[in-house]
Amino acid sequence: MNRLKQGILVAIALCVTDLAHAEAPFVDYQWAKSSDACLERANNSLRDAGFKITAKGDVEVVGTKGNYKAVIACIDKGGDMAVFMVAGASYDEAKHYAVTLKNNFLK
């Protein structure tokens, strides 16, 4: 039983050490006026930017590309506004992806 407790404590210590050294992701967001078919346009925007669609909800589409995660959310009842959020290891890259998603959406 002693060895089990030691193993658990070592595992916890290793996890905490990894978390202590992990850098928080950088996040950028953009927004645009939207219209009909917001979720369909969001799906196409992510796909056209090379993101793999990982989830679709009632008001958002989520995708990943490498170490970056993107969410396009359709806000208001009619989807009057779309918000483009990207998180990842580099702010410049996250911003680049967010702007690309917005531009794809507005095509």
Please check the confidence at residue 57 and state whether its pLDDT lies above 50: yes
Residue 23 confidence class, pLDDT cut points 50, 70, 90: low
pTM, whole model, 2 decimals? 0.74
Separation of alpha carbons 58 and 15, rounded Å: 35
Would you say the C-alpha torsion 82, 44, 102, 54 has a positive or negative sign?
positive
Number of domains in the chain: 1
In a domain? residue 59: yes
pLDDT of residue 46: 96
Give pLDDT tens digits for 78-107: 568 888 999 999 999 999 999 999 999 988
For the residues 35-48, what does the mean pLDDT come to?
Answer: 90
Domain that holds residue 93: 25-106
In a domain? residue 12: no
In a domain? residue 2: no
For the residues 28-39, what does the mean pLDDT come to?
Answer: 80
DSSP per-residue codes, the chain: -HHHHHHHHHHHHHHHHHHHHPPPPEEEEEEEE--SSHHHHHHHHHHHTTPEEEEE-SSEEEEEETTEEEEEEEESTT--EEEEEEEES-HHHHHHHHHHHHHHHH-
CATH classification of the domain holding 82: 3.30.310.50
